[in-house]
Amino acid sequence: MKLGIVGLPNVGKSTLFNAITKAGAESANYPFCTIEPNVGVVSVPDERLEVLQKIYDSKKIVHTAIEFYDIAGLVKGASKGEGLGNQFLGHIREVAAIIHVVRCFEDENVVHVDGEIGPLKDIETINLELIFSDEELIDRRITKTRKALKGDKSLQRELSILERIKATLEQGISVRAMEFSDEEWAFVKTLQLLSAKPIIYCANVSEDDLVENGGENKYVKEVRNFAKTEGAEVVVISAKIEQEIAELDDKEKYAFLEELGLKESGLDKLIRSSYHLLDLISFLTAGPQEVRAWTIKRGTKAPKAAGKIHSDIERGFIRAETIAYEDLKEHGTMSAAKEKGLVRLEGKEYVVKDGDVILFRFNV
């Protein structure tokens, strides 16, 4: 899963990226300190794996992972090439979802590219650049479809969708805010529109606001109200606190969070929101060699899930020996769970559920 971190210069993008990936992307108090997208791979925390390791006495744990792309700061005019904008927009096209870092803190020592703090204006600046880029693509597609329509009347439906999208974009509204049927959405996805990508607005607040007010301030409220219009997620973090957490080991991290009165880190919140936004779940495999989490789309059937492990397993799929994680945890061993009739043999039509512990049977 690839997530792109975007935002105006000096909103805390690279500080956040450095913290959550410990990858050391350059962070400086001036625009465009990040030119190429830095990439960091982060393990997805899953306490179920530790429990399974004890049950199976496994040699190692393999977490599923998320790739974070730190994409350089966009500015007004990016869609026209300002600030190397076209290059940056190309990087956004490659990610599954956008994490839009929005400055929701005041600090006279950190300059704002527009001279004043205004999260809604910042959001609009970025979103409009994505919309302008999409408009160009849609205009070209409409011209092409109209020509093809003369010889293929079945394209009328596609043309109607394209014209609806164009009208929406012209109002300055992102495609993600539109409503489509499942069939229409399948077509829209093929267009690879930037403003259609799922988005998490990451409100970057001061340390004091996060600790004293749970991160809620007047700027965050503005972001939350806007996000509702798009069905977008909002995560409140303090990039500075994340930076401090990044220097600690796990034991120190939890002690530090407890001291601050925080239940989880900003990274944990981002991962949870990303899974929810993209409708993802994890199934688990376990044995003496390793226990491992695998990420799939909710609604995935067993053979397709097996293909995440290896294409041969999908091709030669016979059945899936399946047990719910909670049942296995409660009874302690597979043999004890089998005695209780909790282990099931599922076929090709079985829809995998979050937390399923699966052994795939296959023959190639």
Residue ranges of domains in the chain: 2-277, 299-362
The pLDDT value given to residue 87: 64
Burial of 261 per CB tally in 10 Å (0-12, 13-18, 19+): exposed
The pLDDT value given to residue 30: 39
Strand segments, DSSP code E, in the chain are 2-6, 38-43, 60-62, 65-70, 97-103, 199-204, 233-237, 280-286, 290-297, 317-324, 344-346, 356-362
Digit-by-digit pLDDT tens for the chain (364 residues) are: 889 998 887 788 888 888 877 755 455 443 444 445 578 888 888 999 999 999 999 999 999 888 888 887 565 655 555 544 466 677 888 899 999 999 998 876 655 555 677 899 999 988 998 999 899 999 999 999 999 988 888 899 999 999 999 999 999 999 999 999 999 999 999 999 999 999 999 999 999 999 888 888 999 999 999 999 998 999 999 998 998 888 888 789 889 999 999 888 888 899 889 999 999 999 999 999 999 999 999 999 999 999 999 999 999 999 999 999 999 999 999 999 999 999 999 999 999 999 999 999 999 8
With b for 16 or more beta-carbon neighbours within 10 A and e for fewer, the 214-244 pattern comes to ebbbebbebbeebbeebebbbbbbbbbbbbe
Residue 82: in which H helix or E strand, if any?
Answer: none
For residues 199 and 116, what is the distance between their CA atoms, to the nearest angstrom? 24
**What phi and psi values does residue 262 have, to the nearest 5 degrees?**
-105, 140
Residue 14 assigned to a binding site: yes
For residues 305 and 294, what is the distance between their CA atoms, to the nearest angstrom? 8
The pLDDT value given to residue 15: 85
For residues 326 and 37, what is the distance between their CA atoms, to the nearest angstrom? 40
Tell me if 337 sits within 8 A of 343, measured CB to CB: yes
The pLDDT value given to residue 360: 97
With b for 16 or more beta-carbon neighbours within 10 A and e for fewer, the 53-82 pattern comes to bebbebeebeebebebbbbbbbbbebbeee
Residue 13 assigned to a binding site: yes
What's the longest Cα–Cα distance across the chain? Answer: 69
Residue 217 assigned to a binding site: no
Residue 195 assigned to a binding site: no
Q: Which residue has the tokens 């910042």?
A: 122
Residue 15 assigned to a binding site: yes
CATH code 3.10.20.30 for 299-362 = yes
Q: Which residue has the tokens 């190692």?
A: 60
The pLDDT value given to residue 112: 57
Question: Of the candidates 200, 228, 201, which has an alpha carbon nearest to the alpha carbon of residue 97?
Answer: 200
For residues 90 and 48, what is the distance between their CA atoms, to the nearest angstrom? 37
Q: Which residue has the tokens 């880190």?
A: 265
Q: Residue 36, SS3?
A: coil
Reported CATH class of domain 2-277: alpha beta
For residues 14 and 6, what is the distance between their CA atoms, to the nearest angstrom? 9
Residue 11 assigned to a binding site: yes
For residues 106 and 77, what is the distance between their CA atoms, to the nearest angstrom? 25
